[in-house]
Amino acid sequence: MPQVSSKSLLDIHPRELKGIVKDIPTLPVIYQELFQKMQDPNASVPQIAAIIAQDQALTAKILHLVNSAFYGFNKEIRTISRAVVILGFQSVRSAALAVSVFDYFSGEDSSQLDMTQFWQHSIACASICKILAAETRINQQEEAFVVGLLHDTGKLIEKRYFSNDFEELVQAAQEQQMTWFDTEKALFQINHATIGKAIFRAWGFPPSVVDAVQFHHAPDSATKYPQLSALAHLADYMAYPLGYPAPGSQAPTECSPAALKILGLTLEDCHLLIPKIEEDLDGAMEILKLV
């Protein structure tokens, strides 16, 4: 995959990101149309279903996802209209967002980053986010899982479009035994969270998802959707000891106290949820078939 910019991550200033993201290929038109329509409060179920129905593979993948153990709905959902009626717009939108990113990065090789491990970490975070969201009864529960699933997408943008810098990042993180985020901080002015924000904003993702991805390593700075950012942060922290580390990164040494405070949880509370999370994880890993 070619470098999209003559610029290197080494000298991109956060202010320049928007312009650079413009050069990165966007999602297929059908997704743009779909996300735009789903943002429209007057959109009807048949309108949404009609857009998705234009693409059979997309229809099949969304149905596969909503019928997976992950969604925990015990009767088979056979049509998109049914899915919207039963699970709601937001849940189907979250499924479509996930599928759009899976598709975009399908076929990505594991040369510098183990892609299976990447998605396992992401799915584990999705599962943890879902359980913590239900437990803490926060708003935006339907979005919690997709935030967990897509929180580290910025790393894949770095990998695909800035491969020279990516190589340097992988090596430095390994040699210095650092987390990915700390390595980025040491080398660049931007990081995978800010890249994720810029790319998702450009792709028309909902502001809640954009915001949570942006602040998943700094939940104390999130002002618009602090709970979602805190969930992603906590899920990422918990995924490592559960056996689902992010590839190429050391485990974070601490969890942001702000994240726990925002969610009204203690680390002991989280610990007590581990059996529930482990039970959910087995079913959740089924989603790997879709990536």
The region of 133-141, 157-165, 204-212, 230-238 touching Fe ion under the rule CB under 5 A is 230-238
Query: Crossing angle for the helix pair 207-214 and 226-239, nearest 10 degrees?
Result: 50
The region of 40-48, 234-242, 250-258, 275-283 touching Fe ion under the rule CB under 5 A is 234-242
28-191-170 Cα angle (round to 5): 95
**Are 93 and 206 spatial neighbours (Cβ–Cβ below 8 Å)?**
yes
* One residue of 97, 102, 146, 152 binding Fe ion per CB under 5 A: 152
**Other Cβ atoms closer than 10 A to 274:** 14
3-state DSSP of 45-70: HHHHHHHHHCCHHHHHHHHHHHCCCC
206: CB partners within 8 A, 6+ apart = 35, 39, 93, 97, 143
Distance of closest approach, residue 174 Cβ to Fe ion, in angstroms:
17
Both structure tokens of 93: 């939108």
If binding is defined by CB under 5 A, does position 246 make contact with Fe ion? yes
The region of 28-36, 71-79, 238-246, 257-265 touching Fe ion under the rule CB under 5 A is 238-246
Binding to Fe ion (CB under 5 A) within 42-61 occurs at none
Distance of closest approach, residue 99 Cβ to Fe ion, in angstroms:
20
Distance of closest approach, residue 283 Cβ to Fe ion, in angstroms:
21
Q: Kindly list the distances between the CA atom of residue 189 and the CA atoms of 90, 273, 278, in Å, as whole numbers in the listed order.
A: 34, 36, 37
Binding mask 184-223 for Fe ion (x = CB under 5 A): ----------------------------------------
Distance of closest approach, residue 97 Cβ to Fe ion, in angstroms:
17
* One residue of 236, 245, 250, 291 binding Fe ion per CB under 5 A: 236
Binding to Fe ion (CB under 5 A) within 13-42 occurs at none
Separation CA 68–CA 217 (nearest Å): 29
Contact positions vs Fe ion (CB under 5 A): 152, 236, 246
